[in-house]
Amino acid sequence: MSKDIIQTPSAPAAIGPYSQAVRVGATVYLSGQIGLDPATGNLREGVEAQTRQVIANLTAVAQAAGGSLDDIVKITLLLADMADFTTVNDILAKSFAAPYPARATYQVAALPKAARVEIEGVLVLQAVAGKAWPGGRSPFDDSKGQ
């Protein structure tokens, strides 16, 4: 199965040797996003603004892969301070629809650019009748009954 790199100018460019996302079949692995404004490259101020920007960045990458936040099945939430948990959780509750993705949350010693929050995710693209898959091919090998 091939590995497709997902890139979009609607989310911040990678700040290291990694891709914004990688699609393998119907699964898309979204790299961690921090609250960088893709237009300016500046970090938003405050945990609320950063979290909202993270969601916007994840949405842009998910859309570039042919999906949406509704297709995310797992997220990992990294916080610089667990005291921000309730604030971030409230924003996530409004950003995702039930059934919610699985999630792990960790407090970390530091995040890139002194960010307060980082979120990575995994999404699974859903087949849509009558529409071509991103990249023009199905992620399933029909000859193997998948």
- The answer to whether 66 touches 133, Cβ cutoff 8 Å, is yes
* C-alpha–C-alpha distance, residues 125 and 63, integer Å: 10
What pLDDT tens digit does each residue of the chain (146 aa) get? 799 999 999 999 988 999 999 999 999 999 999 999 999 999 999 999 999 999 999 999 999 999 999 999 999 999 999 999 999 999 999 999 999 999 999 999 999 999 999 999 999 998 643 345 555 555 555 444 44
pTM of the predicted model as reported, rounded to 2 decimal places: 0.86
pLDDT value for 138: 57
pLDDT value for 139: 53
pLDDT value for 135: 55
Measure Cα distances from 131 to 42, 119, 124 in Å: 37, 30, 16
In the chain the domains, ranked by start, together with CATH numbers, are 3-144 (3.30.1330.40)
pLDDT value for 129: 33
pLDDT value for 59: 98
